[in-house]
Amino acid sequence: MGKVERFWQRVSEGLELNQLWSQFQADARASYRLYSRDVDSTGTEGLSKGKKFFHIARQFFWAILEKLSPARRVLLLVSMVLILFNPELSWHNNEGTHVISFDLRLYGGLLLFLLLILEVADRVVMKRDLQIAREIQMWLLPNAPPQVPGLEIAFATRPANTVAGDYYDVFKRLSDDPLNQSYLFVVADVAGKSIPAALLMATFQASLKTLSSTRSSLRQLVDAMNKYACSNSQSGLRFTTAFLAEYDPQSRALTYINAGHNLPMLRRASGAIERLESGGLPLGILSEAAYEAGNVTLDSGDWLVVFTDGLVEAINHNDEEYGEQRAISVLQGGTSLAPTMLLSRMMVDLDFFVGNTPQHDDVTCLLVKMA
């Protein structure tokens, strides 16, 4: 392998040109969404196409500039002036006119390169901190599902960013009788993404583990969770949708509360689909909200699918949503499989559907099969 080829392999990390192009497109879309949030096109009515273009371009320019620190803004502006303007100095004497040109584009390019180095340094530091946060978050989530009598369980999560706002868990509840042990199932989705959502997810997990260790009913647990969430929700702006269920292996009874979450699917052995609707508002909106508990009995061959909206609202390049019907079709076609295999098939089908479209929300799915 020659030096040029080794250099290219190091730069591209072995990716093909089409893969690099797809990565660039994903990065470009993400950057456009970031900057376009600060662009207001409502004031362009009645303007000509040219004026409308410059109006939006000016807003985009400010959207980019204001993402930088003041010192870096000045550095960017100076570099642009040096690149775009090449001054000439001329004077007259008895011998004629003398002109001196100053080509400052090289210095402008060097300033831009310096700005790039500073931004990359910030990105590397942030990426390292996010990776540490990711490792801590993964420590909060279970590595593998527990052994629950009569059940097979599988779960998976895919964060839209390095850290996520989705939470899932299955664990034993406190009981005086080890022969009559119940299990708590939970899937939750904190409003928002990235670090703010991840921090609230951590507080949700801590409060859930603390409150679930008390001898309380599921409704009392959810009431207490809601009151705690309201004290940390910034007046309802940072709410959490959640599905919580308590399962009794002896009676096969599942008591659940759906707090504003996507309706889980209960696929009966006959093929019928039931939706688990009983519950109330998302946690963190209204401290005095009332929650209604639902009850179902799980029979042999039944499947329970609990998911976050990142699954069914995933979009492809045509802005089409993955949708619940497609998820149901995958479920109906894979009931003979183990939950781990069916979950893998569902994730592969999701990848096939979205293609190269960037993931815009966290995806979490919990599958439970009755033996």
Residues 41-54, buried b or exposed e (16+ Cβ, 10 A)? eeeeeeeeeeeeee
pLDDT score, position 177? 63
Tell me, what's the pLDDT at 205?
Answer: 87
* Alpha helical stretches, state H, 231-319: 309-312
Task: Please report the pLDDT score of residue 91 as a whole number.
Answer: 56
Give the per-residue pLDDT at 188: 92
Q: Are strands 363-370 and 151-158 parallel, antiparallel or unpaired?
A: antiparallel
> Which of 189, 213, 187, 184 shows the shortest CA–CA distance to 201?
189
Q: How far apart are CA 3 and CA 123, in angstroms?
A: 29
> What Å distances lie between residue 356 and 27, 29, 345, CA to CA?
11, 11, 18
In the numeric block, which tokens belong to residue 162?
């390095």
**Residues in CB range of 174: below 8 A, 6 or more apart:** 212, 213, 214, 215
Q: What is the DSSP string of 22-58?
A: HHHHHHHHHHHHHHHTT---GGGTT--HHHHHHHHHH
Helix count and strand count (H, E) for the chain: 10, 13
- Per-residue DSSP letter, 277: -
Taking CA atoms, 193 is separated from 41, 189, 285, 361, in Å, by 26, 10, 18, 7
Which has the closest alpha carbon to 361: 219, 179, 157, 209? 157
With contact defined as beta carbons under 8 Å apart, do 331 and 312 qualify?
Answer: no
Q: Are 163 and 194 in contact (CB under 8 A)?
A: yes
CB atoms within 10 A of CB 329: 12
- What are the respective helix, strand and coil percentages of the chain, to the nearest 5? 45, 20, 35
How far CA 116 is from CA of 121, 166, 214, in Å, comes to 9, 33, 54
User: What is this structure's pTM?
Assistant: 0.73
CA 186 vs CA 16, 75, 246, 305: distances in Å: 41, 50, 9, 12
DSSP conformation letters of 110-156: HHHHHHHHHHHHHHHHHHHHHHHHHHHHHHHS-SS----TTEEEEEE
Cα separation, 189 vs 282, in Å, equals: 10
In words, the CATH class of domain 143-370 is alpha beta
Residues 6+ apart with CB under 8 A from 118: 72
Task: Delimit the CATH 3.60.40.10 region(s) of the chain.
Answer: 143-370
The residues facing 243 across adjacent strands are 187, 258
Tens digit of each residue's pLDDT, the chain (371 residues): 678 888 888 888 888 888 788 778 777 877 777 778 777 767 667 677 777 888 888 888 888 888 888 899 899 898 888 888 776 555 555 565 555 666 778 888 899 999 999 888 888 887 787 777 777 777 778 888 888 888 999 998 888 877 778 889 999 887 666 667 889 999 999 887 777 778 888 888 888 988 888 888 899 999 999 998 888 766 656 789 999 999 999 899 999 999 999 999 999 999 999 999 999 999 989 888 999 999 999 999 999 999 999 899 998 888 899 999 999 999 999 989 999 999 999 999 999 998 878 778 889 999 999 98
